[in-house]
């Protein structure tokens, strides 16, 4: 009898077909109603799950009897109750590394768009406001030669720093739980405390992992230390930033602009952020290119196959019980 794979979100069609050729595959269908009830029913006899973007915990996984792996088509795994998965001896795998450069591209896109007021000026032009030479209200900020502060110098943070250093001759500061000499030295990046980075940087990009130390890392105290011309970018997780403090800071003009790809609540349907001209809002699309999503799906597929064929997947988040 074929092993069962439950696909709990939209999945690349080629990968889906490859799974169907090897295993019994069931696919979630939000049009049928209660998604969590579908999960509870399907995991009763599932050997593997693959997908992303859903909260998975005891409430919808308790019926699982033989689940070996949840293969997440993502790098982050804060949607999953890791303690519960460990208790149930269910592997959680992810897809690191393949989205580093794409996410760094998006971070720098946000930085540049916010600095040069791209969304605001796009609408301003389309609305027929361009009737004469632009004035100070339409002026942006220079990027070349300025100071870029990276909070979280992991692979993605370093990729963002490379774009600033090599592409825009930027001075790089970084704050991290520990120094990253191997990543910092080629960029002449200087390790510093968070307060110094906030005070000295013209551009600040948050690229930390979500963990107990990084939750609510940037609040009103941190925003108050930034310069009035600072451009703030968050591509990490929404809960790393006090969103209301950011809104108040932007409304008061205490920083120049912000570029955001992540939010406290997602999908973001209503927000004061939408009323501000000095914010660029993107719908959590750091890895959303056709090429990168294909690579992520391929890696998630390999994680599933390895687990079901008796091998330890290459990227297991919780390997301690294996």
Q: Say if residue 320's pLDDT is above 80.
A: no
Kindly state the average pLDDT of the residues 119-123: 97
Task: Respond yes or no: is residue 13 known to be catalytic.
Answer: no
Q: Is 4-97+290-321's fold the same as 100-281's?
A: yes
Q: List pLDDT tens digits, range 30-68.
A: 999 999 999 999 999 999 999 998 999 999 999 999 999
Q: What are the beta bridge partners of residue 259? A: 233, 280
| Domain parsing of the chain, residue ranges | 4-97+290-321, 100-281
Torsion of Cα atoms, 80 then 83 then 85 then 87, to 10°: -170
Q: Predicted confidence band at 4 (pLDDT cuts at 50, 70, 90)?
A: very high
Task: Respond yes or no: is residue 284 known to be catalytic.
Answer: yes
pLDDT value for 296: 96
Catalytic hit among 116, 163, 284, 302 = 284
Class of 100-281 in CATH: alpha beta
Task: Respond yes or no: is residue 58 known to be catalytic.
Answer: no
Torsion of Cα atoms, 120 then 123 then 125 then 130, to 10°: -70
Catalytic hit among 179, 221, 266, 311 = 266
Neighbours of 225 (CB within 10 A): 15
Q: Say if residue 212's pLDDT is above 90.
A: no
pLDDT value for 321: 62
Catalytic hit among 162, 175, 237, 302 = 237
| CATH entry 1.10.110.30 includes domain 4-97+290-321 | no
Kindly state the average pLDDT of the residues 100-104: 97
Total-model pTM? 0.89
Q: Say if residue 322's pLDDT is above 80.
A: no
CA distance 99 to 39: 28
């Amino acid at each position: 009898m074929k092993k069962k794979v439950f696909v709990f979100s939209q999945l690349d069609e080629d990968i889906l077909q490859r799974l169907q050729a090897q295993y019994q595959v069931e696919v979630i269908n939000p049009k049928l109603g209660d998604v969590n009830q579908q999960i509870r029913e399907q995991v009763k006899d599932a050997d593997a799950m693959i997908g992303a973007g859903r909260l998975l915990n005891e409430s919808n996984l308790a019926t699982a009897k033989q689940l070996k792996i949840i293969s997440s088509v993502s790098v982050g795994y804060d949607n999953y109750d890791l303690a519960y998965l460990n208790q149930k001896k269910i592997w959680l795998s992810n897809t690191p590394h393949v989205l580093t450069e794409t996410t760094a591209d998006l971070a720098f896109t946000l930085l540049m768009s916010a600095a040069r007021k791209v969304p605001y000026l796009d609408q301003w032009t389309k609305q027929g406001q361009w009737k004469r030479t632009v004035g100070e209200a339409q002026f942006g900020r220079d990027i070349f030669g300025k100071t870029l502060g990276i909070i979280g110098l992991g692979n993605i943070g370093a990729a963002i720093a490379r774009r600033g250093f090599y592409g825009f001759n930027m001075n790089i500061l970084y704050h991290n739980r520990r120094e990253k000499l191997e990543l910092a030295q080629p960029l002449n990046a200087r390790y510093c405390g968070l307060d110094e980075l906030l005070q000295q940087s013209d551009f600040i990009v948050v690229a930390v992992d979500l963990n107990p130390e990084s939750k609510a890392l940037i609040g009103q105290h941190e925003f108050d230390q930034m310069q009035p011309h600072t451009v703030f970018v968050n591509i990490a997780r929404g809960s790393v930033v006090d969103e209301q403090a950011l809104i108040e800071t932007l409304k008061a003009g205490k920083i120049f602009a912000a570029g955001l790809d992540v939010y406290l609540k997602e999908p973001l349907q209503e927000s004061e952020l939408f009323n501000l001209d000095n914010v660029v809002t993107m719908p959590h699309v750091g890895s959303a290119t056709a090429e990168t999503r294909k690579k992520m799906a391929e890696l998630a597929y390999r994680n599933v196959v390895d687990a079901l064929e008796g091998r330890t997947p290459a990227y297991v988040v919780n390997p301690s019980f294996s």
